[in-house]
Chains A and B, each alone.
Chain A
């Protein structure tokens, strides 16, 4: 061991890193970028959840004076917080609104809601949940129960206190939640919700790196120059890569699907074939993204740098950890630029809602559009190499 040699070595290493300006920039920029994104996402106040209110409650007119409408009171209590934005609608419109995403949940107060409460001293809340996101379903259920409890407690000081009421059972809460689910259900857990997106992300991530490195090596080992001097065109090369690496993407997708469905026992609705199609499309997009990205890398180390710069933001913004609808409005457009976002939507629609091709085709069409655009872009980026 020699301190002089160690110093010389260290100096050489420092010099090499400094010569690679991109690495220096990355060391500075990447952690800040990721931290900033994280801070924005963790600190963002969630957008109010659209909650439907079907209030058919006739209420009751007290002998002492005044009308009491319990349904209205609970609704007012729910509206008071900033958790929900209330939407009044009719009973028939509930499921349609849940399906098209304009509502996350709806409460139905039947016409005898107030009288029923007076008779039983028990409010039975009929909560209809969209249900595909179990974490969110739980949160909504808890919030609704709490709001109902608060509004019942406030009754004590009103004319309601004068009503003769049957004694509720000991220790029994005055509010019972009767939750029904449009999609999913209570047996769906958080993993069931995350799995579709996870699968899609993994399907894309590895082939992206594979394509990026393979294409980079084509250039660094000089074979791109050789290919350029054959009749092979840029389109030939990009499509050849897509087909070749696409095979591995398909094998990997099949493996991931098999494992999640049969080994990890993820709940899913919809057809496996359709899931396979969605992930395969995304994986092919991943191949073309890799080819495109390789044009911006000179070394394999620079390919690794794409993980914090290209892959990680996609995970953060494309719906892997946060639902895109919950992102701050100024971040959402970035999600719309990511193929992952459309794959995620299609995956969740199929796995959690059981939707078919008829419903998810717009997302597939957008994915196909991304692939076409990426093929053209990466062929254009090869201009310098293949005349």
Chain B
């Protein structure tokens, strides 16, 4: 734990009835880091992100975000959240959506909004109502909305789903630029090749954080050549351990 830790959780648990959705996650993410949450569907990535935002109350354990306890409405103004499915106002245009979320966070900066819309390559469609956009364009609009208020921390839940490979590369190079400027990112994904671009990775399975480290470290630890194989190794080890508990 250092002063640089932007996100910190300590032995976090979340139960939904009999389901142990988050099972003892202790995590810390440093300032300017891109942290990849990797795991199959249903492994608890979304639940963890929602816990971090204070949208869910943990059953036990603690969370600190940007040095403050959660839930805390005020710090959410410095956090950008991108949901898995694009959540946009269908009748409003791209730009109106971006402006609305910026205003909700108390910051509206025209030049910055232009930049964000350009980043997701929607400058030509910025006046189109969202309802006329395809799935990929919606996903891009959604990212623009997430960035609209210049957040210091980004929580992105599968941001590249439905985005074509070229734009995905643009997204990632932009994520890197943001990280270099001091923004912290937590990006969830179930696509292993994206994981290579993260500074650090956390493998999640059945609500547990199986392993943490850089992609290279994780491969080295398991003696595998791909992250996918590494994940499977940790998952297998996790199962036997889980069985003995």
Interface residue from A226, A231, A232, A387 paired with B87 (Cβ < 8 Å): A226
Interface: A299 (CB within 8 A):
no
The answer to whether A222 touches B87 (Cβ under 8 A) is yes
Expressed in whole angstroms, the Cα–Cα distance for A64 and B150 within the complex equals: 107
The answer to whether A231 touches B55 (Cβ under 8 A) is no
For A221, A223, A228, A229, the residue with the greatest tally of chain B CB atoms inside 10 Å of its CB is A229
Expressed in whole angstroms, the Cα–Cα distance for A229 and B87 within the complex equals: 12
Q: How far is the CB of A90 from chain B (nearest CB, A)?
A: 66
- Chain B residues with CB below 8 A from A228, complex form: 53, 55
Expressed in whole angstroms, the Cα–Cα distance for A221 and B130 within the complex equals: 12
The answer to whether B145 touches A231 (Cβ under 8 A) is no
Interface: B106 (CB within 8 A):
yes
For A222, A226, A227, A233, the residue with the greatest tally of chain B CB atoms inside 10 Å of its CB is A226
The answer to whether A221 touches B83 (Cβ under 8 A) is no
- Which residue on A lies nearest to B85, using beta carbons? A222
- Chain B residues with CB below 8 A from A232, complex form: 73, 104
Taking chain B's interface residues, is the majority helix, strand, or loop, or is none over half, making it mixed? Answer: loop
The answer to whether B54 touches A230 (Cβ under 8 A) is no
Expressed in whole angstroms, the Cα–Cα distance for A230 and B100 within the complex equals: 11
Expressed in whole angstroms, the Cα–Cα distance for A231 and B54 within the complex equals: 11
Q: How far is the CB of A221 from chain B (nearest CB, A)?
A: 6
The answer to whether A230 touches B104 (Cβ under 8 A) is yes
Interface residue from A222, A223, A226, A231 paired with B73 (Cβ < 8 Å): A231
The answer to whether A231 touches B106 (Cβ under 8 A) is yes
The answer to whether B89 touches A230 (Cβ under 8 A) is no
Given contacts A387-B55, A387-B56, contact A231 B90 (CB under 8 A): no
Q: How far is the CB of A370 from chain B (nearest CB, A)?
A: 28
The answer to whether A230 touches B105 (Cβ under 8 A) is yes
- Which residue on B lies nearest to A237, using beta carbons? B104
* Interface pick from B25-33, B34-42, B74-82, B180-188: B74-82
Interface: A120 (CB within 8 A):
no
The answer to whether B104 touches A222 (Cβ under 8 A) is no
The answer to whether B76 touches A223 (Cβ under 8 A) is no
Interface: B136 (CB within 8 A):
no
- Which residue on A lies nearest to B146, using beta carbons? A226
The answer to whether A229 touches B89 (Cβ under 8 A) is no
- Chain A residues with CB below 8 A from B106, complex form: 231
Expressed in whole angstroms, the Cα–Cα distance for A233 and B77 within the complex equals: 12
The answer to whether B73 touches A233 (Cβ under 8 A) is yes
Expressed in whole angstroms, the Cα–Cα distance for A231 and B106 within the complex equals: 8
The answer to whether A221 touches B74 (Cβ under 8 A) is no
- Which residue on B lies nearest to A232, using beta carbons? B104
- Chain B residues with CB below 8 A from A227, complex form: 104
- Chain A residues with CB below 8 A from B81, complex form: 226, 229
Expressed in whole angstroms, the Cα–Cα distance for A360 and B53 within the complex equals: 48
Interface: A359 (CB within 8 A):
no
- Which residue on A lies nearest to B71, using beta carbons? A387
A198-235 CB contacts (< 8 Å) to partner B: 221-223, 225-233
- Which residue on B lies nearest to A227, using beta carbons? B104
Q: How far is the CB of B165 from chain A (nearest CB, A)?
A: 25
- Chain B residues with CB below 8 A from A231, complex form: 73-74, 76-77, 104-106
Expressed in whole angstroms, the Cα–Cα distance for A227 and B53 within the complex equals: 12
Q: How far is the CB of B192 from chain A (nearest CB, A)?
A: 26
- Chain B residues with CB below 8 A from A226, complex form: 81, 83, 87, 101, 145
Interface: B163 (CB within 8 A):
no
- Which residue on A lies nearest to B130, using beta carbons? A221
The answer to whether B55 touches A230 (Cβ under 8 A) is no
Q: How far is the CB of A245 from chain B (nearest CB, A)?
A: 14
The answer to whether A221 touches B89 (Cβ under 8 A) is yes
- Which residue on B lies nearest to A233, using beta carbons? B73
Interface: B57 (CB within 8 A):
yes
Interface residue from B71, B83, B90, B101 paired with A230 (Cβ < 8 Å): B101
Expressed in whole angstroms, the Cα–Cα distance for A228 and B86 within the complex equals: 15
Residues of B bordering A, CB below 8 Å: 53-57, 71, 73-74, 76-77, 79, 81, 83, 85-90, 101, 104-106, 145
Residues of A bordering B, CB below 8 Å: 221-223, 225-233, 387
Q: A232-B104, A233-B73 are in contact. List 14 more A-B contacts (CB 8 A).
A: A222-B85, A222-B87, A223-B87, A223-B88, A225-B55, A225-B83, A227-B104, A228-B53, A229-B53, A229-B55, A229-B81, A230-B101, A231-B74, A231-B76
Top 3 nearest A-B pairs (CB, nearest first) are A222-B87, A229-B81, A230-B104
